[in-house]
Chains A and B, each alone.
Chain A
Amino acid sequence: MKKIEAIIKPFKIEEVKDALNEIGIEGMTVTEVKGFGRQKGHTEIYRGSEYTVDFLPKIKIEIVLADEALEGAIEAIMKSAKTGKIGDGKIFVFHVENAIRIRTNETGEKAV
C-alpha cells in the first residue's frame, strides 16, 4: 500500500477530487494548510503597518491506496492540479505498513 500526500493550490481541489473519483478513488482526507516553497509571499498593509506574508494558503490531500492504483492517481492529480505557474504544489509518496477499518476489523488493502 502507498500513501500520497499532495499539496495543491486551494482553488484546484474540486477538479482534483473529480479526477480522482473518475479513476475510482473514493476516499481522501483534506486539510487547509499554510506554507511556502519557491512561490514568493505577498505584502499586506493595515493603516501604517506593512507585513510580508510568507505562508500562503494551500490544500493538503492525503490518500492511501493499493500499489497498482498509485500511477493512475498520480497522473490524475498531475493533470488536474497543474496551472503551469509557480506554486502549483508537490506530491509525496510513502510506504504504508497497514490499514485497519475500525467498524469491520478488516486489515490491509481491503481496508482502504
Chain B
Amino acid sequence: MYFLINRSLTILRFFLLATCALPLTPLQAMAMPLPSLEQRLSYVEAMLHNDDPTSTGIAPIASPWHTGWMMVAAVLVFFMVLPGLALFYGGLVRQKNVLSILAMCFGIAGVVTILWWACGYSLVFGHNFNSPFLGGSEYFFLQGVTSLPNTSYAYWIAQNIFCIYELAFAIITPALIFGASAERMKFLAILLYTLLWMFSVYFPLAHMIWGNNGLFNGLLNPDAWMPALDFAGGTVVHMSSGISSLVLCIILGKRLGYGKEPMMPHSLVLTVVGAGILWIGWYGFNAGSALAVDSVAMNAFMTTTLAAGTGCLTWPTMEFLFRGKPSVLGFCSGAVAGLVVVTPAAGFIDSTGAVSLGCVAGIIPYFACTTFKKIFRYDDALDSFGIHGVGGTIGALLTGLFATPAVNAHLISPITMHNGLEQALRNKTIWLIQAKALGISLCYVVIASLIVTHLVQFLMTLRAEQEDESQGLDISEHGEEGYTMSG
C-alpha cells in the first residue's frame, strides 16, 4: 500500500514537472515566481477535463494526452481517403476506369495539401479579417503554426496537429464530389475544379460554420447570425460536396451508353474493403471532432458506431422488402449513409438519437439513390448526391431534433446564451435554425458550384473525348491499366 502511494506520488510529481516546468525558460523562471502546487494541480485538472487553463496563470502547452489522440484521429481521416474512399469508389466503376478514381484521390490530396499550406488553413481558422465569412491571413504558409495550442479552438492540442487534422477533412470533401462525375471527367479538369471549388465553397463555408467568429457557429460565436450546429461536417463536408456533385454531373451529362449498356461495379470486394476502412476512419472523423479526449469524444465514438450499424442493417432491409434480396452493396451503402447522417450530430445526441438517425439513413438515401435518381434521370455515377448530399442534409436537420445538453455541456454556456442557441434548445426550435442555416448554405453552394463548373468548362473541357471515354480513362488519361493479364 505504502509502495503504491509512493509510486503514484512520484508519477504525479513527474507529471507536474513535465507539464509546468518545461515551458518556462530559465530567464522567465527567474523573472516570475514558480507557480504554486495548487496552481499546478488545477492546471493538470484543467488538462484532464479539457478546460481553459488561463486562470492558473501557467502558460499553455499542448497536452500529449489530447494531442496524441488527435494525431491518431488525423491518421484515421487520411486513411478514409487513401485507401478508403479510393477503394470504395474504385470498386464501383468499370475495370477500365479504376485507376482514374485512384488518381483522383491522390491528385486532390496533393492539390489541397498545397492550398492548405499556402492559405487554406488561414482562410478557415484565421481571425484577422474579422469577418463571419472568411478567416484571416495570419497563418498564410503556416506562419506561426507551431506545437503550441491555438486556444481559440482547442486549449490542449498542438496547432500543427490541429491544422493537419483539418487538412484531412479538406482533402476528403472535394474527393467525394467526383463520385458523381466518375468515368467521364478529364483528370486536369478535376484538379482545376478542386482548386476553384476550395476557394469558392470549402474555405468560406468551413469558416462560416466552424470559424470561431463564423456566421453559423452556434457553439463558439456569441454573435452568430444563426447559431447552428455542425459537429463533424454534415453541412461543410457532406452537404456541400453532395450538392456540388449533383450540379456537376448534370452539367457534365450522362456517361456514354448510360441506361443501355451494363455499367456494373467491377469489384464489389474492393468496395467492401473501402467501406470497412471508411467506417474505421470515421472514428477519427467524428470522435476526433471533439478536439480532445473528453466525454463529448467518447459519446461521439458511441453514436458513430450505433448509426453505422443501424444504417448497414436498414438499407439492405429496404432492398429485401422492395426487391427480395439484400445486397452486399446495400450493406456498404447503408453503413456509409449511417455514418454520413450521424456526422453533424455525433457529439450532440444520445444513443436513441443515433439509432434513429441510422434508421433514417437506411431509408431516405435509399430512395434518393433508386427512385429519385430514376425519375429525374441524372447520372450520379457513384451516388455522391444520393448518399452524401441527401444524407448530410437530413443529418443536419435531425441534429436539431436530437441535440441534448445531457451529452454535451458546451450546449449551455455564456456563448450559447448570448447567441440564442440555449433558448432554442429549451424551446426545441434548433431544427428551425438548422433548416434556415442549411437553406442559406445550400443556395450558396448551388450558385458557387454552378459558377465553378461553368468556369472550368470555359477554361478547358470538362469531359473526356468520346473515344477516350469508351476506351477507358485509365489508358487515355493516365497511360496505365489497373489489371494486366500476363506476368
Contacts and interface: CB of A to CB of B under 8 A. Distances in A.
B and A form one assembly = yes
Interface of A: 44-49, 51, 53
Nearest to B381: A49
A45 B366 CA distance: 13
A47 B329 CA distance: 7
* Chain B residues touching A, range: 10 to 19
B454 interface: no
Interface in B318-337: 319, 323, 325, 327, 329-330, 333
A51 B261 CA distance: 8
A53 B371 CA distance: 22
Contacts, number: 28
Contacts of A44: 264
Contacts of A45: 319, 323, 325, 327
B425 interface: no
Interface of B: 262-265, 319, 323, 325, 327, 329-330, 333, 369-371, 373-374, 383, 386
Residue from A44, A48, A53 having most chain B Cβ neighbours under 10 A: A48
Given A51-B262, A53-B262, A46 B370 contact: no
B373 A46 contact: no
13 contacts: A44-B264, A45-B327, A46-B264, A46-B265, A46-B327, A47-B369, A47-B386, A48-B371, A48-B374, A48-B383, A49-B263, A51-B263, A51-B264
A92 B237 CA distance: 60
A48 B370 contact: yes
Contacts of A46: 264-265, 327, 329
By secondary structure, the A interface counts as strand
Residue from A44, A45, A49, A51 having most chain B Cβ neighbours under 10 A: A49
A-B pairs, top 3 by smallest CB distance, nearest first, are A48-B370, A51-B262, A47-B369
Nearest to B325: A45
A20 B319 CA distance: 45
A47 B330 CA distance: 7
A53 B263 CA distance: 11
Nearest to B383: A47
Nearest to B263: A49
B333 A47 contact: yes
Nearest to B387: A47
B479 to A, nearest CB: 29
B262 A48 contact: no
Nearest to A44: B264
